[in-house]
Amino acid sequence: MNNKTKKLSRREFVKAAGVGGLSIGLGTAATISSLFTGTGMAAQQRKRPNLLLIVADDMGYSDLGCYGGEINTPVLDNLAKKGVRYTNFYVSPTCSPTRSMLLTGTDTHIAGLGNMGELLAPNQVGKPGYEGVLNKRVVTVASLLRDNGYHTYMAGKWHLGLKPDQIPHARGFERDFSLLVGGGSHFDDAWNINWQIPKCPYTEDGRPVKKLPKDFYSTKHYTDKTIQFIDEGRKDGKPFFAYMAYTAPHGPLHVPNNWLRRYKNRYDEGWDGIREKRFKRMQELGIVEKGVNSADRLWFLPRSSGLAPAVRVALGRKMELYAAMVEYMDDQIGRVFDYLKKIGEYDNTVVIFISDNGAEGNDLRGMMAGRAGTMGFLHAMNNFAENGHNSIGRKGTYAEYGPAWAQVSMTPFRLYKGLLADGGIRSPLIVSGPGVQGAGKLNKEAILHVMDIVPTLLEFADVQHPATYNGREVAPVQGESWVGMLEGGTKSPRGPGDWLGWEIFGNRAIRQGDWKISWHYEPFGIWDWQLFNLTDDPGEQYDLSDAHPEKRKELIALWDEYVKTNGVIIGSRSPFEGAKKALPDSVPEFDNYPPVRGMEAIPYKKLLELMSGKSDK
């Protein structure tokens, strides 16, 4: 993503400096190298830290306790007290595009995931940047760290390719235990959501896993493997880079049996009350400014207070399972931290925690299963058929929590995963470790992007990003290193003129400073650009296009630059093209209209009193 004046690659810089065809002395070479890595004498004297990158899957912005959620997450809350939280950290609205940028520092349209491989439009197939896998135009941070003295480990979700030259072991990871596809059962039955690959493929150290252990549960097993890899490799004293790519709380909502009732009846009151409480806590924590409003409840969702009590309980049950998955993940992260403390490496480990995209509000199983009578539908019915209230959460069941709870997870933003409102692309971010200044602070100034993680890790490791790798040219990093910000030198790696861009499924967006434009298919947008001020209106409720036409024009020009720089191809088909017919019309809702809403909260006994004249209220 080109967010400012185009950066020079190392080769271009050397040529521009007039030394491209000359032999240069060691001192000059070191000086030039330091310009690209951000390293100088201070960096050269710093002990290279371990690097631990932890990614949740489809977890919402406000779920963690330290971001205002009611879910019990003491480990990550304590990490936030030791480190720094950030409120303006951006990702892609779906998983594989985020992961392509997370590991390369390069825009997803260059890295091969211009669209998800499963959802490529006909006019995108076969085009550069739309391979549907991580392509060879980029080099991963794992490859660069491995080549420069780091152990490199991965446990969890890959989703960037299935072939032998596309899997983690081939893209820089020395040890791995990896789920190669986007999601499936969290237990040993390993059923995939997608019928075309009915069983989830796993690899361990580059070799296919033929059978999972009987006691397999994804979150625990990924944690076990991470600890195992670090423990078995630490004898030589080399630092490690560990990528923990959890699949929690991605659907299906599964938890170990002894966690099934962890949050029993905690969500019976419904989504509106929980969302209101979260929003209030976020304001108290300073994450959301007082005086601004949360996004309205989505127009196609009912008020939870208007649902029958049994329905509220049934829908709340799904949120109970989601919350249990998040807390269980937090608990397992704590196991890794405890292990690092035990071996004396915790204080020398930089920890970065993020979620890969907004919370999942779509019906993923419905999308994959399709119509009755199809192979996808048959696969879903055979392997995820049992979905009763007391069954969900167990092996063989399939449940997701839906758009209402997803909007709760993304408080105060609009929409959720798959869409380019901030509800689809804003993620929590916690960074802690050696050199990170400002323990317990909340940074609200910095506008950050997932592409920034690669240059940050490389600078911590004193490794430069090359112009070529294994004899092929590779795309330069587009992200910005956070090291200067983390060490207290600046509040943000970006200035007021810098900007970020997105596109997927034909929806598109640009953010520069407080301003954002977005274009969505109806009914999630208006098939045209809308302009929002995110400081005053984080919920993207008020289109300011008419009030600020010049700002809108400026940002549209940046969109044109984004397309040209990254080779964006707008798909000829989109998963959202039929959404307008599938959903009711969007109309405003007010407390006093329709008038019958005034009757909702009156108990029957009170109503009789009113009718009989026994009560004057």
**Residues labelled as active-site residues:** 95, 159
Is residue 481 within 8 Å of 462, Cβ to Cβ?
Answer: no
Report strand pairing: 529-533 vs 515-519.
antiparallel
Q: Can you give 368-391 as a three-state secondary structure string?
A: HHCCCCCHHHHHHHHHCCECCCCC
Separation between Cα atoms, residue 361 and residue 382, nearest integer Å: 24
Q: Scanning the structure block, which residue is given the tokens 């550069």?
A: 128
Separation between Cα atoms, residue 291 and residue 62, nearest integer Å: 18
- Cα-Cα-Cα-Cα torsion 198, 199, 204, 207, nearest 10 degrees, comes to -60
Separation between Cα atoms, residue 418 and residue 25, nearest integer Å: 51
Is residue 326 within 8 Å of 401, Cβ to Cβ?
Answer: no
- Side-chain-facing half-sphere of 126: CA atoms under 13 Å: 2
Report, in angstroms and rounded to the nearest whole number, the Rg of the chain calculated over CA atoms.
25
Separation between Cα atoms, residue 138 and residue 152, nearest integer Å: 18
Instruction: Name, in order, each residue with C-beta under 8 angstroms of 514's C-beta and a sequence gap of 6 or more.
Output: 533, 534, 535, 536
Instruction: Name, in order, each residue with C-beta under 8 angstroms of 445's C-beta and a sequence gap of 6 or more.
Output: 88, 491, 492
Separation between Cα atoms, residue 183 and residue 251, nearest integer Å: 7
- Cα-Cα-Cα-Cα torsion 439, 442, 443, 444, nearest 10 degrees, comes to -170
Record the tokens describing residue 314, joined without a space: 């049934």
Which of 28, 11, 529, 587 is closest to 300 using CA atoms? Answer: 587
Record the tokens describing residue 308, joined without a space: 């029958």
Separation between Cα atoms, residue 231 and residue 240, nearest integer Å: 11
Separation between Cα atoms, residue 569 and residue 563, nearest integer Å: 8
Q: Is the peptide bond before 523 cis (omega within 30 degrees of 0)?
A: yes
Q: Distances from the Cα of 216 to the Cαs of 210, 222, 432, in angstroms?
A: 13, 10, 30
Separation between Cα atoms, residue 120 and residue 329, nearest integer Å: 32
Separation between Cα atoms, residue 355 and residue 57, nearest integer Å: 6
